[in-house]
Amino acid sequence: MSKPLQIGITGGIGSGKSLVCKIFNALGVPTYDADSRAKMVMTTDGILVEAIKKEFGILSYDAKGTLNRQYLASTVFNQPEKLKRLNELVHPRVALDYEQWVHTQADVKYVLKEAALLFESGSYQALHKVIVVTAPETLRIQRVLQRDPHRGAEQTREIIRNQMAEDEKIRRADYVITNDETTLLIPQVLNLHKQFIV
């Protein structure tokens, strides 16, 4: 059984990854959203649930078995070692979930894996190519503030500072999509789509 071409898609917060993925989806391209799948895996994968409880305490989940995001976020917030440990537990289980998902997509030319931390987590190494979506920082902050009213400009800048630098992402990319609201998005996506379906 042949596996499809696996293309990663990443970009900093507010760069417009999800919007670009929606355009690919409209072309019939299956997309694995690593961030939302991670949230699902953290409540449905028994091995991971037990590991999180063991590492961060039983308060990590409520009585119904729902992940206590607030508790977990406050536990790892500003604690790089704890955050690193959480990622070490979550990423391998998400990688396994992704592998299983790819096996269900054998009849397509290519699939997309959307992940904010594609380079940071090392998961890009299992993919064939990587697209980086890029936008100017001021525009990214503006988008985040419109999308997430609970975040302030300083908090958004802090998130940007904690993510891999934009120029480093671009340096590692196989393809770059510019989402600066002056360069048209759809032609950029169509151009890549044509290359991937050959």
Amino acid at 38: A
Torsion over CA of 26, 32, 37 and 38, rounded to 10 degrees? -130
Is 59 among the domain residues? no
Is 160 among the domain residues? yes
Cα-Cα-Cα-Cα dihedral sign, residues 87, 89, 94, 95: positive
Task: Look up tokens 């009213």; give the residue.
Answer: 149
pLDDT at 182: 96
Is 157 among the domain residues? yes
CB count within 10 Å of CB 190 equals 14
Number of domains in the chain: 1
| Rounded distance between C-alpha atoms, residue 41 and residue 38, angstroms | 5
Task: Look up tokens 């607030």; give the residue.
Answer: 70
Is 85 among the domain residues? no
Q: Record the tokens describing residue 44, joined without a space.
A: 């449905």
| Rounded distance between C-alpha atoms, residue 26 and residue 29, angstroms | 7
Q: Record the tokens describing residue 73, joined without a space.
A: 């976020």
Is 99 among the domain residues? no
pLDDT at 113: 97
8 A C-beta contact, residue 74 and residue 104: no
| Rounded distance between C-alpha atoms, residue 36 and residue 33, angstroms | 6
pLDDT at 13: 92
Is 93 among the domain residues? no
Is 166 among the domain residues? yes
Q: How many whole angstroms from its chain centre is CA 8?
A: 9
Torsion over CA of 56, 100, 104 and 4, rounded to 10 degrees? 110
User: Tell me, what CATH number does 169's domain have?
Assistant: 3.40.50.300
Query: What stretches in the chain show pLDDT beneath 50?
Result: none
Amino acid at 194: K
| Domain housing 167 | 5-30+105-196
Is 181 among the domain residues? yes
pLDDT at 190: 98
| Rounded distance between C-alpha atoms, residue 123 and residue 90, angstroms | 12
pLDDT at 1: 56
Q: Record the tokens describing residue 97, joined without a space.
A: 């979930």
